[in-house]
Amino acid sequence: MVFDHLTFPFRAAIYTRMNTYAATLLGTVRSSRPLVHHITNTVTINDCANATLAIGAAPVMAGAIEEVAEMAGIAGAVVLNIGTLTPSQIDAMVAAGKAANAHGIPVILDPVGVGATTLRTKSAERIMNECTITILKGNAGEIGVLAGSGGTVRGVDSGGCAGDPLDVARRCAERWNTVVAMTGETDIVCGSGEVYLIRNGSPMMERLSGTGCMAASVVGAFAAAGDDTVKSAAAALIAFGLAGERAAEGARGPYSFRTALFDELASLTPETVSAEAKVEQSCGI
């Protein structure tokens, strides 16, 4: 569903300055090619690497605790994903997060399946307590759990959050002092008094494993290249959603969509982002 009730605090007009920022930032990603260090899950690791390449950044997938701090220190951003977590992997994530914090490098956490098991919830909370998370990217159920307002997670799939999604996202951002990027049919990005609704995307994105993980990789690339964390997260979800929207136009099913998604990420232009981004900004928050 699209969260139609979320339009009430927002102006009806498309926020064209955000379109311009997103378009410019895509160009910066392509020209600067930032290194994005991932400690991510084994199900989607290759897709995350390819999505990072397609958007114009450089991926590295280094998970050994003996090198993660060193690798994080030379990266433009660090993406942590607990999709196939183990206790030793969480130790490595904490080490990488602390190293990134020491160098002023943005850290993106994708708390996949948090709330489904005690291990996942405690692991996500440990990372967030021991590291400064720049951007928390999750679905409605995951963000609801971390907001403390409740959410439903089945395995790694979202069953939604308890309460108004906009309120839940803002509560989570305040609780953890971070930028929250809540993905769904309408994406919500909030932090530092700013809130954006992003309506780009396609239902096909829910039929393919790993699109949420790939979105976190794109967020990492944009955060590495950007100078405003909230706007960078919003710009990344605009670009990823727009690529999904365009990929779905000729797709016959999930796997032809997967191929087209990488192609559309690679061929996405600043001009297309500026013209086709569907984003609104909060008023009076």
* CATH number of the CATH domain containing 120: 3.40.1190.20
Q: What percent of the chain has pLDDT over 90?
A: 84
pLDDT confidence bin for 165, thresholds 50/70/90: confident
pLDDT of residue 18: 93
pLDDT: which is higher, 92 or 283: 92
Residue 156 has pLDDT above 60, yes or no: no
pLDDT: which is higher, 150 or 109: 109
Query: What average pLDDT does the segment 253-277 reach?
Result: 96
Domain count, the chain: 1
Domain that holds residue 246: 4-281
The model's pTM: 0.91
pLDDT confidence bin for 141, thresholds 50/70/90: very high
Q: What percent of the chain has pLDDT over 70?
A: 88
Residue 51 has pLDDT above 50, yes or no: yes
Residue 183 has pLDDT above 80, yes or no: yes
pLDDT: which is higher, 202 or 284: 202
pLDDT of residue 194: 93
pLDDT confidence bin for 162, thresholds 50/70/90: low
Residue 269 has pLDDT above 50, yes or no: yes
Residue 52 has pLDDT above 90, yes or no: yes
pLDDT confidence bin for 15, thresholds 50/70/90: low
pLDDT confidence bin for 282, thresholds 50/70/90: confident
Q: Name the least confident of 69-78, 128-137, 183-192.
A: 183-192
Query: What average pLDDT does the segment 205-214 reach?
Result: 94
Query: What average pLDDT does the segment 117-127 reach?
Result: 96
pLDDT of residue 161: 56
Residue 10 has pLDDT above 60, yes or no: no
pLDDT of residue 13: 46
Q: Name the least confident of 14-18, 51-55, 127-131, 252-256.
A: 14-18
